[in-house]
Structure 1
Amino acid sequence: MSLLSTTATIIDAPIQGAVTDWPYLEMLTRFALALALGLLIGLERERRKKEAGLRTFGFIAILGAVGASLGDNYAYIVLCLTGLLTIFLNIQDMRTHSGTELTTSAAMLVTCIAGILCGKGHTLTPAAIMVSSTALLAWKDILQGFSIGLTEGELRSALLLAILGIVIYPALPVGSIGPMGLIEPRAAWATVILIAGIGFVNYVLWKAFGTRGVAIAGFLGGLVNSSVTVNELASRVGLHASGAVAAAAYRGIILATSAMLMRNAVILALLAPGVAVAGGGALVAMLGASAFFVFYRRAPAHVAVVPQDAPPSDQIVLPFSLWSALKYGLIFLVLHILGVLTQKYFGNVGFYLVSLLGGAVSSASAVAAAASLAADGKLTLDAAATGAVIASLASVAINLPFVLRVPNRRFVLSIAVAMGVIAALGLAGMLLGESLASLVTGHFPIISLYQQGP
């Protein structure tokens, strides 16, 4: 046997635990992806003039892919070799620069693991890991500036919010507990998380964008809970708030009310179109009034004289108050119990009272309940529409006390006028709702089919 044939036999001999029959195109795709991801993060390291750059990260990614293709044992060996390489890099850097390259070392290990995933046939997972890792490296200055500018109170608030949602909420029992199933711990705690979350998001937007972020926070917060959003925005308008702060809060509060009305209308349209038609007159009237106050009426400016010892006008308080969140959760729990009992013993009148109380806490839940009962044939079109409108009006009315505590009289008067007009048009639309529903269902009989039970 010739030397050439002997060498070929040795090369082609199967390695224990290795894959010997590799599909060429498939393996080429895996190696190409690993190389591309390694070059991506290596490019960032090269631009920062690090010891390990473009070629090093490319080699590490390919080495990981080849090791994974040979088998798990080879993948572990490659990972260990990469670890030894990082140790050598740090020792060499300490000798020359009196420092360490911990970030680059961590990036090398991540690159090796991503290469191993590519070698095993994964695509999206290693790509997501490497893109995220490259972003962390590229955004070094931004992240450092953010962490340096973060106050101790803001950090505590973020950790507290995480504890409320991640630690406590999953530990609460699922469903109703207690006599007659009146208590729903998770629903009550979800209200606490909601209040804290909206306050935190609003705080972040306010700090990042100033008064420009209030409109965004107002509308998005109104889609979740308008009362909480209005309370949060109103708390920003103190005696010494600037005109820009008062105007932004005014616009945000009206936008929160508009978002609440839009959300309720969409819920009705999806769950029970007939109820949406019956209550459409009131909802459209209130939406029209809200749009007028947002886009056409000039927002109020603050005219109070600021004393010389007044605090800074744009001072921002902490993201949220834990006591305030717990207080709203307790109120929600009490109203839920009263609503269930009232509905059980007083029938239709009890439903209206439930809608009123539910609208004061969460109009979305009250509107969804009205639409669901009507769709099941347990409520008439008029009763369901009336309950939905009552819930929406209650949500508008409950916001006024939050505004009345603001020491800016002109601001309070402007909000009170806007909410009064919105509520008055809602009541007028509710009175005309039955006639509008009869007119529409008369021309489009198919809509009335949604009101029939199963």
Structure 2
Amino acid sequence: MLPITLPEWTTAAAPLAAALGCGLLIGVERERRKGEGPARAFAGLRTFALVCVSGALAALLGHTGLVLIGAAFVAALGVVAYARDRSEDPGATTEVALLLTYLIGVVCVWQLPLAAAMAAGLTALLAARERLHHFVTEWLRPAEIRDGIVLAALVLVALPLMPNRPLWGPVLNPATIVQLLALLLAVQSLAHLCRRLLQARQAVAFSAFASGFVSSTATIATLGMGVRQQGGEARLMAGGGLLSCVPTLLQMLLVAVAVRPTWLPGLWLPALAGALLAALWGGWLVRGAPMEMGGAMGSSPHTEGLGGPQGDRMFSLWGAMAIAALLAGIQVLVHALDLWLGEAGVLAGTLLASLVDLHSALAAVFASGGPPAEGVPWAVMLALGVHALSKSVTAVLSGGARYAAWLVPGLLAHTAVCMALLAVLR
């Protein structure tokens, strides 16, 4: 006979009651879909409740073999039920859910909150059957599924395999580069899906905002060309351009988290203050623009060269890889100048990098040392100032005087706020 130890009733009461509740919760949902008569489906309210309590009781008796025997019995019961199913649309959902319910009962003994969360999640998943099927078969597009698989493979397969150590000094860390790549793709994917749910003016604002995570400079140039070539409303486009600057400051914090978290205490307040001012100013410009111009921007300010999604695609992998490669290359350049010229090299490299991409310049500055050194915060301020001037010139050249007149004041104002707080908190 198996050596079984009977638990005290005070110890057993809570997990058994929780298992009964979990089984009843899942069983209620299955009972509603069970049907009636000879063609009714396998297992319902009572079966799920009994199976969950059985799992908890087997775990309470403290014998691993008994738990395994119970799991094997429930699995065999599901196989027999599936083999005898003669319905027009047979599925194994109920059978698999029954086995999982047994395991939830076992978990009730080991980790009660986890078991409760699993039961609630399983019930929600079972209840959302029609909506999930409609989402996958009707709403989700084939290109979006392919992109989702690529993103999942990058995050779940490639990222854990990347070595988490820099290849040259503090730069060229493969894990950091892949993290930034995954972040770019995830943001673009979210932006693409949200743009499908929004309309008109809101879509213009959100598309510009999402494009800022790729390149606010290129977004401003694209919007400016829409004003000059397509007759777009200058105020609306300028509002979108200013909203694209909000992710620039938010991504500064994300880059700091990924590359050098010790910078966060001195960066979060200036970045959030500047981003808030840009968001309020840009939102005011968008809200005050004529409603009929809501579609002047087209489907999206993204272009394939920027790595933004087009059509059904959620993102452009090659574009995001190009941005990640640019970031890594500028980090190498700034680190080389740092080794050659010291602090002056960091400032010179930051100046050159910020003309092209602010995130790359800041990543190089963050990677140049540990905690912020005495002179290095000035490199961040220099990068912000040069980048703002670069975007102002881009606005004038791409969209003309009307576009720049709406955009440049807000652009310089939010940059000045960020730089002033950096100087005060330095």
Q: Same fold (TM over 0.5)?
A: yes
Q: 1:251 to 1:35 in 2, by over 3 A?
A: farther
Match of 1:332 among 327, 334, 358: 327
Residue 114 of structure 2 aligns with an amino acid whose one-letter code is T
How many angstroms apart in 1 are the aligned matches of 2:334 and 2:24? 62
> Which residue number in structure 1 is paired with residue 305 of structure 2?
none
> Which residue number in structure 1 is paired with residue 142 of structure 2?
152
Residue 49 of structure 2 aligns with an amino acid whose one-letter code is G
**SS of the counterpart of 2:2?**
coil
1:351 counterpart = 2:342: no
Q: Is the 8 A contact 1:283 1:389 kept in 2?
A: no
Match of 2:409 among 415, 421, 427: 421
Query: Which piece of structure 1 moves more, 282-291 or 46-55?
Result: 282-291
> Which residue number in structure 2 is paired with residue 86 of structure 1?
78
Within 5 Å, give how 1:48-447 maps onto structure 2.
Answer: 48-50=33-35, 51=41, 52-70=43-61, 71-94=63-86, 97=87, 100-118=90-108, 120-149=109-138, 150-177=140-167, 183-210=172-199, 212=202, 215=205, 226-228=213-215, 251=239, 253-261=241-249, 271-272=265-266, 288=277, 291-296=280-285, 298-299=288-289, 301=293, 316-357=311-352, 359=354, 360-362=357-359, 365=363, 374=372, 376=373, 378-379=374-375, 384=377, 386-396=378-388, 416-425=404-413
How many angstroms apart in 2 are the aligned matches of 1:206 and 1:197? 14
**SS of the counterpart of 1:48?**
helix
CA shift digits 1:372-396 (9 cap, x unpaired) = 665x4x42xxx73x42222223444
CA shift digits 1:60-117 (9 cap, x unpaired) = 11122222222222222222222232234334432xx355341111111111111122
**SS of the counterpart of 1:93?**
coil
- Identity among equivalent pairs (%): 23
TM superposition score normalised by structure 1: 0.70
How many angstroms apart in 2 are the aligned matches of 1:139 and 1:253? 39
CA shift digits 1:295-340 (9 cap, x unpaired) = 256347279799xxxxxxxx84411112111211221122111111
**SS of the counterpart of 2:245?**
helix
Residue 165 of structure 1 aligns with an amino acid whose one-letter code is V
Q: Is the 8 A contact 1:31 1:62 kept in 2?
A: yes
> Which residue number in structure 2 is paired with residue 29 of structure 1?
14
Q: Is the 8 A contact 2:56 2:106 kept in 1?
A: yes
Unaligned runs of 5+ in 1: 1-14, 307-314, 441-446
How many angstroms apart in 2 are the aligned matches of 1:16 and 1:236? 75
Which has the higher Rg, Structure 1 or Structure 2? 1
Q: In the TM superposition, what is the alpha-carbon distance from 1:156 to its structure 2 partner?
A: 1.2
CA shift digits 1:223-275 (9 cap, x unpaired) = xx7444675798799979999999987655423413544776998996349x9
Q: How many equivalent residue pairs? A: 393
Q: In the TM superposition, what is the alpha-carbon distance from 1:285 to its structure 2 partner?
A: 7.9
Q: In the TM superposition, what is the alpha-carbon distance from 1:38 to its structure 2 partner?
A: 0.5
CA shift digits 1:145-193 (9 cap, x unpaired) = 1111322211111111222333223333322225x66533333333332
Unaligned runs of 5+ in 2: 36-40, 257-261, 299-309
1:18 counterpart = 2:4: yes
How many angstroms apart in 2 are the aligned matches of 1:339 and 1:64? 60
TM superposition score normalised by structure 2: 0.74
How many angstroms apart in 2 are the aligned matches of 1:402 and 1:83? 65
**SS of the counterpart of 2:85?**
helix
Q: Is the 8 A contact 2:232 2:297 kept in 1?
A: no
Q: Is the 8 A contact 1:176 1:182 kept in 2?
A: yes
Q: 1:355 to 1:426 in 2, by over 3 A?
A: farther
Q: Is the 8 A contact 1:175 1:186 kept in 2?
A: yes
Q: 1:30 to 1:248 in 2, by over 3 A?
A: farther
How many angstroms apart in 2 are the aligned matches of 1:67 and 1:319? 47
Aligned alpha-carbon RMSD (Å): 4.6
How many angstroms apart in 2 are the aligned matches of 1:286 and 1:305? 23
How many angstroms apart in 2 are the aligned matches of 1:321 and 1:373? 35
How many angstroms apart in 2 are the aligned matches of 1:134 and 1:323? 40
Residue 164 of structure 2 aligns with an amino acid whose one-letter code is V
Query: Which piece of structure 1 moves more, 98-107 or 415-424?
Result: 415-424
Residue 103 of structure 1 aligns with an amino acid whose one-letter code is T
